[in-house]
Amino acid sequence: MTTLLAVETSGALCSLAVFASGRWFEDTQKVERLHNQVVLGRLDVLTRAAGAARNGFDAVAFGAGPGSFTGVRIAAALSQAVAFASGGRVVPVSSSLALAAAAGRRLRAHSCEVSRILTVTRSRRDAYYLAGYDVGAAEVPEQRLADRLHQGTDPPEDLALERWIGTGERPPWWPEACEFLADVVVTAREVGELAVAALAAGESVAPAAGLPRYVVGDSPWKPAGS
């Protein structure tokens, strides 16, 4: 039976989950920008609770972005290190996919029919990552709109927002008449459950290839003097 560690630090949460002996063990805290200070200590606590060793994982999954520039890299580095020490594999999980899956689960729990979800993740001032998914009865949403960066104070001209249910961090330009789920939280367990499905489909990589996912055309860096 697979023993899996999942790491989610792409947002304000420092969230870890371990799947061991057929059970999930979870540790989630809201730490804002202190992930690097607390994640290793929380990992020790969680692995002891799960009866697992830090070098005993068959696979390590992480929220690979888009998300916090630093947070995603913390998760990638931790996942690579634990997988390398364990001789295991890495499963980078799209943070947009995890957000869509969590939103879909929330809506299904309230008996709402779900069809199209647009994930919105803040990058920086007036800049948001967008991705679109078909979400129905399946636990793994199907991507229809690739991750992209939208900048500016106006809504995207090429998207009919009334056809989507938005989720994530609501931007100022989102129309009041269009539905938006602003309280959906992605934890490491959501990432881990998607990783279990990915592993079953043969989707994993060697530790060195467990890298963050970048959005085409996006960079937080600016040339010196700009």
Question: How is residue 90 written in tokens?
Answer: 């890495």
Residue 95 has pLDDT above 70, yes or no: yes
pLDDT at 33 (0 to 100): 83
Least confident of 28-37, 82-91, 157-166, 181-190: 28-37
How far, in Å, CA of 127 to CA of 102, rounded? Answer: 23
* Residue whose C-alpha is closest to residue 195's, from 28, 74, 79, 55: 79
Mean pLDDT of the chain: 92
* Strands in the chain per DSSP E: 4-8, 13-20, 23-30, 59-63, 89-93, 116-124, 127-134, 142-151, 165-168, 180-181
How far, in Å, CA of 110 to CA of 183, rounded? Answer: 14
Residue 226 has pLDDT above 50, yes or no: no
How much is the pTM? 0.93
Residue 50 has pLDDT above 80, yes or no: yes
Beta-strand relationship, 4-8 and 59-63: parallel
pLDDT tens digits along 128-171: 999 999 997 777 999 999 999 999 999 999 999 999 999 999 99
pLDDT at 41 (0 to 100): 95
Question: How is residue 14 written in tokens?
Answer: 């420092």
Question: How is residue 220 written in tokens?
Answer: 């937080």
pLDDT tens digits along 17-42: 999 999 999 999 998 788 999 999 99
How far, in Å, CA of 7 to CA of 177, rounded? Answer: 35
Instruction: Report whether 204 contacts 89 (CB < 8 A).
Output: yes
39 Cβ contact list (under 8 Å, min separation 6): 7, 9, 14, 16, 74, 78
